[in-house]
Amino acid sequence: MHQTASTFQSRFIRGGVKEQLRLASLRFHGHADNGNVFQLMSLILILMALALSLTLFAGYHGLFFYINAAAKMLPASVWAMITYLGDTKIALAMLLFFARRNPALLAVVLVAALFGTCVSHGLKEGIGAIRPYGVLAAGDWTVIGQALTRKSFPSGHSLTIFVFVSSVFYFCHQRRTKVMLITMGCVIALSRVVVGAHWPVDTLVGAALGISCTLVGVWATKRWRAGFSLWVHYLVLSLLILATVLIFLDNGGYPQAQPMAWLIGCSALIYVTIDYIFLPYPFAVRVAQQGVL
């Protein structure tokens, strides 16, 4: 029976997941957006309008001191944990919780992440905006974590977290969950100003770009079915696992957030192992006992 169950387990990892990908592709390509795309596009317009208004009326550095002053409301370790949630490694690790149950999400994020990386690094290198630490005198404001001086525009953490929350948002139907996702994204994006790493405009544009990358990912995935192939799925899964392992090797400049990061990393690795390997086993035993295999 053990051998039969193990055989079923092996078949599930190959054929079972392949069948799930096929069904996920059918659901995704027949998926009605239910206004989610329109809502995401509206958020982009709102964020860009805020960024433009802030730049015109208060300048590129506008509102920095007001938002940065919020650092005194919570311990530095809490702000470090909040802002570290926008780190690419953490965002990719959190995707492991959705990997098998919603493979369409991985397909969308794959395109969004590739596009977002090119856009973010291209703008950072091309514009070369100076961060607060390279402009402001010490002592007038709060800096938490690593003190960076260059490549301020746009905020990469804000882009990353909004790729994550907007991708989940796209597949979500509950209004309360949508509000929670956007609220979480906004808090993490604003924390980049609180820790002194970015100007407010950087985070607004970064968030708008993150949502835009997600919409590009949705558009491309609707037309590119390769994202639902077995080898692409396991390739993306391997990259997510690799990113999660890197959490234990790099604290992203926020050592205070390391315990939280390790907890997320351990939880994600355990969950994906159970979901792909151990979870099918009890079902395999029941099937073997019934003599189906």
Q: Which residues neighbour 269 within 8 Å (Cβ) at sequence distance 6 or greater?
A: 96, 241, 244, 245
- The pTM for the full model equals 0.88
pLDDT of 25 reads 83
pLDDT of 146 reads 83
Q: Is the pLDDT of residue 10 over 70?
A: no
Let me know if residue 156 belongs to a domain. yes
pLDDT of 283 reads 46
Let me know if residue 9 belongs to a domain. no
Let me know if residue 16 belongs to a domain. no
Domain extent for 225: 32-289
From residue 201, alpha-carbon distances to 58, 70, 129, 216 in Å are 10, 17, 11, 22
Q: Is the pLDDT of residue 9 over 60?
A: no
pLDDT of 27 reads 83
pLDDT of 15 reads 55
Let me know if residue 80 belongs to a domain. yes
pLDDT category at 61 given cuts 50, 70, 90 is very high
- Tokens 């514009």 locate to 127
Let me know if residue 21 belongs to a domain. no
pLDDT of 286 reads 47
Q: Higher confidence at residue 28 or residue 199? A: 199
pLDDT category at 16 given cuts 50, 70, 90 is low
Give the total number of structural domains in the chain.
1
Query: What residue type is 292 in one-letter code?
Result: V
Do residues 257 and 84 lie in contact, with contact meaning Cβ atoms separated by under 8 Å? Answer: yes
Rounded Cα distance between 165 and 162, Å, is 5
Structure tokens at 15: 């054929």
Let me know if residue 235 belongs to a domain. yes
Structure tokens at 32: 């009605």
pLDDT category at 274 given cuts 50, 70, 90 is confident
Let me know if residue 23 belongs to a domain. no
Structure tokens at 117: 């990386």
* 129, 133, 135, 139 alpha-carbon torsion, rounded to 10°: 160
Let me know if residue 169 belongs to a domain. yes
From residue 110, alpha-carbon distances to 75, 213, 236 in Å are 35, 10, 7
Do residues 236 and 110 lie in contact, with contact meaning Cβ atoms separated by under 8 Å? Answer: yes
